[in-house]
Amino acid sequence: MGVTLSGIQLRLARRGRAWLRSYLTELRGLIGDRLLLLPSVAAVVHDDAGKLLLQEKASGEGWSLPAGAIEPGETPQEAIIREVMEETGLAVTPAAILGVFGGRDFRYTYPNGDRVEYVVTLFACRVVEYGGAWTDEETRSLRFFARDEMPPLALPYPASALFS
Q: pTM score, two decimals?
A: 0.84
Residue ranges making up the domain that contains 129 = 2-162
Span 84-110, pLDDT tens digits = 999 999 999 999 999 999 999 999 998
Task: Summarize pLDDT for 116-145 with one digit per residue, the tens.
Answer: 999 999 999 999 998 777 777 888 899 999
Note the pLDDT tens digit of each residue in 8-46.
223 333 344 555 567 888 899 999 999 999 999 999 999
Three-state SS letters, 54-70: EEEECCCCCEECCEEEC
What is the number of structural domains in the chain? 1
What CATH number has the domain bearing residue 154?
A: 3.90.79.10
